[in-house]
Amino acid sequence: LLAGRMLESRGRRRAAEAAMSLAASVPATARRSTGDRVETVPADQLRPGDLIDVGTGEEVAADGVVVAGSGRVRMAHITGEAEPVEVHSAAEIVAGSVLLDGAMTIRVSAVGGDTVLQQMAERLRMAADRGTRPTSADRIAPWFTAGTLVVATVTFVGWALHDGLATAVPRAVAVLVVACPCALALSRPLAAAAGLGASARRGLLFRSADALLDLADVNIVALDKTGTVTQGALTVLEAEDEALRVAAGLERYSSHPIAAAILDEAGSRGIPLPRGSDITEEPGVGISGVVDGRRWRLRPGGPGQVLLLDDAGRERIIALGDVVRSDSARTIAALHEGGLQVALLTGDHQDIADRIGRETGVRTVVARIDPVGKALWIKARREKGHRVLFAGDGINDGPGLAEADVGVAMGSGAASSVLIADGVISSGSLAPIPVALHAAHACRRAIRLNQARSIGYNILAVGAAAAGYVNPLVAAVLMPLSSAMVIWGASRVEANVRELSS
């Protein structure tokens, strides 16, 4: 019990460390613009309404609105999307975002604890403050001990008055010996260990038995999109070979994530890359150059699209997006068959989220939702009496993982999400989740049966000893047999998981 409490305390400390690392990702200083002067000031001296200048490679020190300039911004810590976001005047931007290229002036709207990033960190701290819950064995133990002592005392007094001390002493000793708190105490740990082992062997490792048992009550499974339901890497979904060839010629020297996706797809199709000339890349606008003696331009299109335009203005569409994991649809179907509601929560565009929902069979799709919004969505369901599992992989998923009844992180995800989660999926697949649900149900059933066996044994054995049918020697033999029953019950967990999974 003490070891379990120590592990739980260690997990809470790690959650607090994750919160501190998240809060520390905001820069300590900012360049504040006042009239024709620019001064470097500590970030905690910024106030709403201040203007701050941000250049290429710098992090944004506060939440705000762009009032001048533009550029590509990486906001993976908020949206979970690896692809940089094109930001222009009047766009909102959050603290901790990195300006990859361009320059802009931002009017501060929130600082310190009011920023989105600090609210995320605060939710992680709240998770770190969660205490341990008493188990059923913890609640029963005082009553069991008191009951055993009362029965032993009554047995001693009754037999002393009826047949003298020579009979009373062995009868009372038999009651104390045959009573087996060990079986009751072992009911939960042994079954939980078997359940944790069964889940771990199938790819989902839980930090505690409480997390596994809570899984048995879950009726809503909320999933992050990027890196959880999908592979988390930008990929070309649709493009003509010729359009891809020309685009690859323009992008072959670019470090943009879209360039990497186009070049990877061209390579996988075996398309020879032309060498472009007079290449010009404009941050936030696109790239242009000459390929095969003609001038081409690559420009942003609709969500998940880039447009390739020739010198006559004719356009070809290259569709890009994230690829759904091969077993996501099958896993989500299994969750639906188990009677669970499945929801997709993402910061991505609605049409992209809807497409992923259609491909995987998710019926509830919530798009354009920030990390705090995910946590509030989960909290609202919990307040209605639902039990929620949330699975995510990014630093932006921390608040959701902390708020959920059971938080599960992808092992390949951000370190902060792994630290805050109740469980970690060791493989790049969601398949362990429904199997872990089977392990949770099998584990809980084994605990209840073990406790029933233990309580039934103690009632019968203590009653027989008090009545004089069991002497101390026989009591000493019977006592370990009750523990053996509990061990046998726990050993059935693995077989039950295999049966449920089949």
Report pTM: 0.66
H-only helix segments in 384-471: 398-403, 415-420, 432-467
How far apart (Å, rounded) are the C-alpha atoms in residues 39 and 46? 12
- What was the pLDDT predicted at 8? 43
Burial class (CB in 10 A: 0-12, 13-18, 19+), 71: buried
Q: Where exactly are the structural domains of the chain?
A: 27-114, 138-192+443-501, 204-231+325-436, 233-323
CA distances to 327, 401, 444, 458, 489 from 447, in Å: 32, 27, 5, 16, 8
Please name the residues in contact with 358: beta carbons below 8 A apart, sequence gap of 6 or more: none
Parallel/antiparallel/unpaired status of strands 406-410 and 388-392: parallel
CA 21/CA 124 separation, integer angstroms: 11
**pLDDT tens column, 290-343:** 998 899 999 888 777 889 998 888 899 999 888 889 899 999 999 999 999 999
Q: Residues with catalytic annotation?
A: 224
For 429, the 3-state DSSP assignment is: coil
Nearest to 455 by CA among 174, 136, 192, 180: 180
User: CA-to-CA distance for 371 and 13, rounded, in angstroms?
Assistant: 22
Write the CATH number of the domain with boundaries 233-323.
Answer: 3.40.1110.10
- Interatomic CA distance for residues 189 and 2, integer angstroms: 12
Report which of 435, 437, 419 is spatially closest to residue 427, judged by C-alpha positions: 435
Architecture of domain 27-114 in this structure: Distorted Sandwich (2.70)
> What kind of fold does domain 204-231+325-436 have according to CATH?
Rossmann fold (3.40.50)
* One pLDDT digit (tens) per residue for the chain, 502 residues: 444 445 444 544 544 444 445 455 567 788 898 877 888 898 888 999 999 999 887 888 888 999 988 888 877 655 555 567 778 888 888 888 888 878 899 999 988 878 877 776 665 555 544 544 555 656 666 777 777 778 778 888 887 888 888 888 888 887 777 776 666 777 778 888 888 888 888 888 887 888 888 999 999 999 999 889 988 778 898 899 999 999 999 988 777 778 888 998 998 999 988 888 888 877 667 889 999 889 999 988 877 788 999 888 889 999 988 888 989 999 999 999 999 999 999 988 888 899 899 999 999 999 988 888 899 999 999 999 999 999 998 767 888 888 899 999 887 766 567 767 888 888 778 999 999 999 999 988 888 888 888 778 778 877 888 888 878 877 777 777 777 777 888 888 888 888 777 6
Whether the CB-CB separation of 340 and 391 falls below 8 Å is answered with no
Q: What residue spans of 202-325 are helical by DSSP H? A: 209-215, 241-251, 257-268
